[in-house]
Structure 1
């Protein structure tokens, strides 16, 4: 079903015309509700939470994965290198924690915290907290001494005030048919892009005003042993990806010189069973997955299971501009509290 909807949104599937009489009115209602909600916060009728430290939102205006998590990881690592202590808040999409706000630690499961929060914490070691009410997650992180908040997704979560907005754009699929949900993939109209601070284009060709980002793969990591190995050294590979746009991962493997014998896409945030993946892995010698998938599979991983880490890479000028702006905002907070 998800693939069918995406074909309507991004590939102009003929069914889109047939469903337009149903979907168009629903999109109009969605737009009215979302605009009204935002206007309530802008007018002060609803009160948004203002944190005592800078808040940086990494989000998008389309449904699905656009590459936000690699940008969050990049920001965290860049700020850590500058001596700052960033923390990350997330809704914890697709998970159910025993309580909220929920602090993510190395033992936290993806079922409790969500795929992205677990990945970010394990990758960076930064404090991470999840809650549907992001203000609660921020307040929990403040007790741990964080001095910058990065919110993974949440561009439309106007209950949390923000200082810097970064939108990540899928450079291949862009904005599809440019219609609002459910007729198209947009959470907000494309006019919203003119209001954000930075636009990052993930792959494809960046448009004017967008920073071109590439995802640079690292050597494979074995889920069982932690061994690292170039992907080109593996033969008879079965590839799987449970992310927003699985073909992006399969294309990456092709660029690296690997043609999988099987490419198995899964729904984003899908939970995996040990039996299901063992059966899949038996179709080749090695099972290769994304890092996001790997955080759900460590407990039952087999010796021939690997994941491919990727790092966001931005042009130096744009990268420095983003990091320097965050540092400037932090200094402004410091001077206002002095």
Structure 2
């Protein structure tokens, strides 16, 4: 092996020099950018004229985007060009200005990385762990747009080292199992309340459609003469443990949480109470004359008696490896379905799941479909950049593609992320690089979006609920409510 230095234009960066090792037989083919034939692997990189070292992969950070063309062509190991670790290609595309952009490879794995000065990203962000993205679901649109993933360890079902994730999952499962067994044997109290309670919950963490179903069910009950109210914990809210009613005229996302504000705005005339102690929230509804309380995400809240316990089940829960968080996305094992009084199969655009084998069959099974709809006007054929802070951003991006949106890229944050002005600036840079004309986001994200950054008002998409079988689900709930009210 003989060493050789390649610099200047051949390195793709003025003043930068790359130390390479060359196969003495010269049997390997040449490389793009003028690098001599026979280069086997990179031996050492020396700084550019700017004094900054080159990253491991082009475009990862700093000035790497300017050097990406030549450096990206150098082989890191033996094998076909462009093949990355594990055989998944983490390719790059270029915008009209020739700047390097990350893209989602055909394998469905996303290129993670912090935004560069050019607004791009890619490579491996070592601060966020070493595990790749979730594969695209079968039968779903191919997601090949550039993705900037800012979720880190708060990503649902990923980014944890496997050994640590399994250990934490085991401890969580032991504690959760003991808690529910104590309730099953009535060794822990279950409080009574003066009005009927309908709980809408799920076994998985986030992304099941609980809040849209609660909003739809409250509207249907109100149309039938019932006086419903909604109680929820107010996840990531900063209003304290005291029960409080959300004011739709002056919403405070920081105090009450995004889901509570979204429900209050979408349900005029229906009281929405935020209370970490659900019993206090239901008692406040009862004192205000409400006839029925709806619990958003209440299946695991065993301390409050309920008359209807509905569990949502979608394809994501069906295809999950049946592992508890953080190794998987489940809060409880599917055998917990024996506690539910009704099972609701949810179609989020990817089809209905099958009835799980753990379902005892004692209660009815209903089907609802969640459809994404634009709030307001959708610009005709305008390219948009997706911004999301939800549990399953892939589902939102797939719904945009199915709606005919020309998606140029996506920026993903963790569920319930509190957007900052620095986030707005990062999105603004990415939008300019991609040539998008605006941004698209969910209604839940829109209530947390601060705006500004030279961006137009976001195009907001919300979820509407359509129940199969007509009014069977609502009529069954009404019958159970009236039966409980007569007891």
Q: Does TM-score exceed 0.5, indicating one fold?
A: yes
Q: Say which SS state the counterpart of residue 135 (structure 1) adopts.
A: helix
For 1:182, the equivalent position in structure 2 comes to 326
Q: For the structure 1 residues 296 and 3, does the alpha-carbon distance in structure 2 shift closer, same or farther, using more than 3 Å as the test?
A: farther
Q: Does 1:322 align with 2:473?
A: yes
| Alignment equivalent of 2:313, drawn from 163, 169, 176 | 169
Q: For the structure 1 residues 199 and 90, does the alpha-carbon distance in structure 2 shift closer, same or farther, using more than 3 Å as the test?
A: same
For 1:141, the equivalent position in structure 2 comes to 285
Matched residues in 1 for 2:158 and 2:200: separation? 33
Matched residues in 2 for 1:119 and 1:257: separation? 26
Matched residues in 2 for 1:82 and 1:98: separation? 34
Of Structure 1 and Structure 2, which has the larger fraction of its residues in helix? Answer: 1
| Alignment equivalent of 2:243, drawn from 90, 96, 101 | 101
| Alignment equivalent of 1:254, drawn from 387, 397, 401 | 401
Q: Does 1:235 align with 2:389?
A: no
C-alpha distance after superposition, 1:10-35 (max 9, x if no partner):
99x9998x734x44444333222212
Higher RCO (CA < 8 A, seq sep 6+): 1
Q: Is residue 237–residue 287 contact of structure 1 (8 Å, CA) maintained in 2?
A: yes
Q: Say which SS state the counterpart of residue 200 (structure 2) adopts.
A: strand
Pairing of 1:30-109 with structure 2 (within 5 A): 30-98=172-240, 100-106=242-248, 107-109=250-252
Query: Which has the greater radius of gyration?
Result: 2
Q: Say which SS state the counterpart of residue 479 (structure 2) adopts.
A: helix
| Alignment equivalent of 1:285, drawn from 437, 441, 454 | 437
Q: CA deviation at 1:40?
A: 2.4
For 1:223, the equivalent position in structure 2 comes to none
Equivalent pairs counted in the alignment come to 322
Q: Does 1:266 align with 2:413?
A: yes
Matched residues in 2 for 1:269 and 1:255: separation? 24
Q: CA deviation at 1:57?
A: 1.1
| Alignment equivalent of 2:465, drawn from 303, 307, 312 | 312
Matched residues in 2 for 1:146 and 1:137: separation? 11
Q: For the structure 1 residues 5 and 148, does the alpha-carbon distance in structure 2 shift closer, same or farther, using more than 3 Å as the test?
A: farther
Pairing of 1:114-133 with structure 2 (within 5 A): 114-125=257-268, 126-133=270-277
Q: Is residue 119–residue 295 contact of structure 1 (8 Å, CA) maintained in 2?
A: yes
Q: Does 1:214 align with 2:369?
A: yes
Q: For the structure 1 residues 2 and 330, does the alpha-carbon distance in structure 2 shift closer, same or farther, using more than 3 Å as the test?
A: farther
C-alpha distance after superposition, 1:221-260 (max 9, x if no partner):
xxxxxxx21x352512121111110111111111111122
C-alpha distance after superposition, 1:172-226 (max 9, x if no partner):
4535110222332221111112431222223233313754432223333xxxxxx
CA RMSD of aligned residues (A): 2.9
TM-score (norm 1): 0.85
Q: For the structure 1 residues 172 and 28, does the alpha-carbon distance in structure 2 shift closer, same or farther, using more than 3 Å as the test?
A: closer
C-alpha distance after superposition, 1:39-66 (max 9, x if no partner):
3233332212222222111111112321
Q: CA deviation at 1:264?
A: 1.4
Unaligned 5+ segments in structure 2 are: 1-127, 139-156, 357-364
Q: Does 1:297 align with 2:449?
A: yes
Q: Say which SS state the counterpart of residue 97 (structure 1) adopts.
A: coil
Q: For the structure 1 residues 158 and 308, does the alpha-carbon distance in structure 2 shift closer, same or farther, using more than 3 Å as the test?
A: same
Q: Is residue 194–residue 283 contact of structure 2 (8 Å, CA) maintained in 1?
A: no
Q: For the structure 1 residues 28 and 172, does the alpha-carbon distance in structure 2 shift closer, same or farther, using more than 3 Å as the test?
A: closer
Matched residues in 2 for 1:129 and 1:237: separation? 35
For 2:344, the equivalent position in structure 1 comes to 199
Unaligned 5+ segments in structure 1 are: 221-227
Q: Say which SS state the counterpart of residue 219 (structure 1) adopts.
A: strand
Q: Is residue 62–residue 175 contact of structure 1 (8 Å, CA) maintained in 2?
A: no
